[in-house]
Amino acid sequence: MPVDWVDFKSIKGKVSMETVLSHYDVRLRRVGANEFRGKCPLPTHSSTSSNNSFSVNFGRNAWSCQSASCIAARAGRVGGNVFDFVAEMERCSIREAALQLQHSLTENQTPRVISRKEKSVAHRLENRPLSFSLRNIDHQHPYVASRGLSEQTARYFGVGYYDGNGFLRGRVVIPIHNEHGELVAYSGRAIAQTKPKYRLPAGFRKSHLLFNLHRALQNGNRTLILVEGFFDTFKLHEAGHHNAAALMGSKLSDRQADLIGTYFDRVILMLDADEAGKAATSAAATTFSSILAVQIVELASGTQPDQLASEEINQLLAGFAHDAPTPDR
């Protein structure tokens, strides 16, 4: 079939908001005859306080989210139709969204099979596993040692200098896995003052996973130490704490909070003690407070875990790393 035309009207007649919502596994509460309401599923939604801002009218086949930040992130649009919804979910154009819906319709004439397609769409949202891995990574590169990592730690995490081709050339690469341990991306750290400091593949969604989560889960540990960066994780590992995972930034996304709430009973927040980290710590503590036990490590102002020696890390964590009570669930 030709892929360069879109029959908007025909697609709109065939695909309901109901179909699209179930496709993305969005669950809402009925609040009226045709009206449903609940937590906003859009990637533009950053507010964690509004759990009731998203509403859908099945009669009109329309949706809206009333969260001000969510509206602002969608260039002032309050809501829309199925195309707008898919475009926002996929972060693509209206036309691409329509093409995607059309494709699933023409390939398989029934809504039943749209849900088969759910798998591939969900995969695209989930950072698809890579079909390759980089070779000839130098774990002994001076930059690795300059950040205070042993060669053994670098090998364990697969971290090292990459001199091959592509956008990671000349950087220290850090393999990133999903919670199942599948390799989904490499981040490339500049070794000099080159910008950007970190490079990630286009389309990679770091807010959809936590760095090192699959290893933190390995020993059945129900406590997670949450840090901001890759190197924080490495330093904690060297200090003997293998249950650390990193946000890859300071902002905790809803998805990351869900992952932590799913796998752990307790989270120890060890974010940077700068302005961003402090704000993120209090936001994360609020988010987690209703989900699991939260504890906060107080770092000296202006410091971050990757600057600390193992002894300092152990001192900070000694008070509550292993003996704090966990809530009943």
Q: Please identify, using beta-carbon distances, which residue of 99 and 283 lies nearer to Zn ion.
A: 283
Of these, 65, 82, 217, 269, which contacts Zn ion (CB under 5 A)?
65
Alpha carbon distance 205, 229 (integer Å): 15
Residue closest to 105 by CA, chosen among 129, 78, 126, 86: 86
Strands (DSSP E) contained in 171-222 are 171-177, 183-189, 198-199
Contact call for residue 28 and Zn ion (CB under 5 A): no
Q: Please identify, using beta-carbon distances, which residue of 42 and 317 lies nearer to Zn ion.
A: 42
Contact call for residue 74 and Zn ion (CB under 5 A): no
Structure tokens belonging to residue 8: 């908007």
Mark the segment that binds Zn ion (CB under 5 A) among 59-67, 173-181, 188-196, 314-322.
59-67
To the nearest whole angstrom, how small is the minimum distance from the Cβ of residue 158 to Zn ion?
Answer: 37
To the nearest whole angstrom, how small is the minimum distance from the Cβ of residue 53 to Zn ion?
Answer: 5
To the nearest whole angstrom, how small is the minimum distance from the Cβ of residue 188 to Zn ion?
Answer: 32
| DSSP character at residue 306 | G
Of these, 28, 56, 70, 267, which contacts Zn ion (CB under 5 A)?
70
To the nearest whole angstrom, how small is the minimum distance from the Cβ of residue 257 to Zn ion?
Answer: 16
Of these, 55, 61, 67, 243, which contacts Zn ion (CB under 5 A)?
67
Alpha-helical runs (H) found in the chain: 8-14, 17-23, 68-73, 82-90, 94-107, 111-125, 142-146, 151-157, 213-216, 230-238, 254-263, 275-289, 310-318
To the nearest whole angstrom, how small is the minimum distance from the Cβ of residue 283 to Zn ion?
Answer: 17
Contact call for residue 71 and Zn ion (CB under 5 A): no
Q: Please identify, using beta-carbon distances, which residue of 66 and 307 lies nearer to Zn ion.
A: 66
Alpha carbon distance 187, 137 (integer Å): 13
Contact call for residue 189 and Zn ion (CB under 5 A): no
The answer to whether the CB of 83 falls within 8 A of the CB of 8 is yes
DSSP H or E run through 296? strand 293-296
Binding site for Zn ion (CB under 5 A): 40, 42, 45, 65, 67, 70
